[in-house]
Structure 1
Amino acid sequence: MMNSRHSRALKSRDISETFVEELTSRESDLRRNHLWLAPKLDQLSTGRPVTLRHTPPPGLTVAEQADLIDIASHVGIYRMWARRGRVTYDLNEHLAAELYRSTSDTLPGSIFSHLPHINPLIVLPDPWPVRYKGSDGLVRGFYLYGYNQVPEQQTYTDEDIEGLGLLFVIDLLDEETWEVRGQTHIRMNIPTGLEKFTVAQAVDFAAARAEAHWSRARDKRAAYALFEELLRPALSVLIYLCCDNRDLAEPPVVKPSKAKKRRRPVAKNRDPFFVEVGWRVGPALHAARRVAGRIQEGDGIPSGVQQAPHQRCGHFRRFRIGRARQGVTTRWVMPYWVRLELLADDTDPITTVVPVDEQRHDPLRRRGLKNRRRPEAGLAA
C-alpha cells in the first residue's frame, strides 16, 4: 500500500510539474513577445478585475488577439494557483473510476462553496480520452478558479463569485505513434451562482462563450460533445470534494515552534501541497470488488448462471438534516451491493464511507486553505 501511494505521489508530482513547465513557458513567451498584454496578464494573475484596455500592435487579426488573451487567461489561472499554495489533489485511481461512472441530475449551485481549498489543481490518476478538433487527446487534470463577468475577473474561489471556472489540461496525441505531441488548455465557466442547474445547462453555459469561434454547425456539435465529455465526470469529482462524507486528508501537520521567529517569505517555486483524496475508500472498494466481482454458477435461472454480488454505480444524494430536518446536505452514496447474501461470511461489503476528520491546519501557514463552512439550511431539495 505504501509503495503504491509513494508511486502515485511521484506520478502526480511529475504531471503537475509538466503543467508548470508548459504554462511558465507560455508566460515567458507572452512577456517577451507581446508586451502590450503584460498589464492585462498581471491583473489576471492576481485575481483583480481586468480594467485595462489593451492596444495591440498593428498587424494582429482579431482572432490572433483573442488567442493571445486566452493564453494570458490560462497563465493567470496557473499563477493564482501558485500564489495560494500550489494545492494539488492526488485522486486515488479506484475512487476516480467510480466517480467517472457516478451519476447526478440537478446540481445545487451553492454546494461548490464547500470546496476545502482555494483554487486547487486536480490531477487525474488515469487520463480521460477525448476528441479535440478531430484528433485524439488525453485529459490529465484541471485547475479551479472563480469568475465574475461584470467587471471581467478571474479570481479566487473564496471571494464573492458568480460562478466556478475549470481550466482543463489536455495532451494531444500523434495519430500514428500515439505519442504526446503537445499540450492544450480549455477554459470553461459553469453557473454555480445559480440555485440549481443540470449538466446539460452547464454545457450550454460553458459553450455560449465559444460561439464566436464556430464557423459551421458541425463545429458547434463537436464543441458541445467535447464540453459534455469534459464536464460530466469533472462535476462528479467536484461534487464529491464538496460532500460532507468525502475521504480527504492533508499531509501531517508540522507543529510550529514556540519560539517567536520572523516569518520568512514564501518561495514562489515551492513544491505542490498534495492532498490525498480517496486513499482510504478507494483501495477498500477495489479489494471488495476483486473478491466478489465474478460470475458464479447457480440453479433456477434459464442461462444456468446468476449474477455474483456486485456494486451498482455510485451517485450523489441530498439528505435533510438538523432541527425539523430543515437543513440539506449532499453526500456521495457508495456503489451499493446487489445479491449481498452470496458474499462470503468474512467479506466486508464496504457499503458506507468511513468518516475521515479533515485536518484543518496549514503546515506552511500560507497554503490555500478555505474556512470551514456549514451547509446552508436554505438549499432546495
Structure 2
Amino acid sequence: MIRVGIVGATGYSGVELIRLLSLHPHAHMERLYSSSAEGTSLASVFPHLQQITLPTLQAIDPTAMAAENDVVFLATPAGVSRELSPQLLAAGVKVIDLSGDFRLSSSELYRTWYKKEPASQDQLALAVYGLHEWNREQVSEAKLIANPGCYPTAALLGLLPLAKSGWADPHSWIIDAKSGVSGAGRGVSLGVHYSEVNESVSAYKVGQHQHTPEIEQELTRQSGVETIIQFTPHLIPMTRGILVTAYAQLTASVGIEALQDLYESAYSDKPFVRVRQPGTHPRTKEVYGSNYCDIALHLDQRTGRVIILSVIDNVVKGAAGQAVQNMNTMFGLPETEGLALTPVFP
C-alpha cells in the first residue's frame, strides 16, 4: 500500500486527488496538509466527503511529512513546491508537483513568465515532465514529477503526433483554448465572480500566459525543432473542461487518411487518449469527470491547414488524474489503476 500525502488538500486539485485516491486499491491517504485549515476535518470544508474516513488536516511540516509518506502530491500555488521538495526528496520521498515550479527547464523563463524566483538548477534537472503518454519511461524512473499544466496537457496531446511527423510548419501553430472557471482555482477574485463570468466569454493573459513557454518547450523537445506558438486562452462560464482548437500549416502533401493513421498509431497503446473518427467534433461534456483526452482532426483543403480539436476535464486529466496516472507508473502499477472512470453525462 502506497502511503500518500497531499499538500493543498482544500483546493480543487487537492480534493479531486482525494476523490480519485479514495477509489485506488493500492494507495492510502496517510496525511492531508493545509496551511489554512490546520486541525479541522476535510468534511467540514467539503461536506460531500463525509462518508470517507480521512485524516485531520495537518500543518505543513517537511520533516514530519518525510517520515509519514512514500509520495507527496503538492497541489500548491507556484513558488511553494520549490521550498518543500528538497527536504522531501532528500528523505527518499517521491514528489509529484501540480504547480508550475518544475515544468520549465530554464530558470530564466520561469522568472520571466511566473514573476517568481525559480527552483535551483539541480532540482530543475531532477524533474521529469509528467506528460505520461509521451514520457512514460522517464516517469517510471522519476523521483520528482512536474505535472503538466491543464492547457499544455490538452494542447500537447493534440499537437505532438503532427509536430513529431515533420509534416507541419513549426512556426505556424495557433492555439485557441477555452477553459471552465475551476481552472482559476478556489480562491475568490473579481475575475471569477459569478455575475462577472456568467453569460460572458473572455480572453485573458493574451500573449503572456505562463503556459506558453511550457507548450513551446515540449513541442521543441519532442520534435527536435525549435517551435514557436501563438496561444490565447479564454474563460467560459462552466465549471470544468478545456477545449483546444489548434491550427497548423501543412508542409507535406498528406490527406486526412494519413493524418488519422498518424494519430491512431501514436495513441494505439495509450488508454486515456481516444482518437475520434474524421468529421466528429469532441465536446468537453464527453470527458467530464474522467481522465480521457478526446482528439479529432480536420483537414482544410482550401487553406492547407490541419485543425486539431482536443478536449479534457481540466481538474482530472489536466491535474489530479494525470498526477495519479504518474504515481501509478512511478510505483510500477498499471497506469489505469484507480482511474478507469466513465465520463459523467449529461
TM-score range, shorter chain: under 0.3
Q: So what's the TM-score if we normalise by structure 1?
A: 0.25
Pick the structure with greater CA Rg. Answer: 1
Q: So what's the TM-score if we normalise by structure 2?
A: 0.27
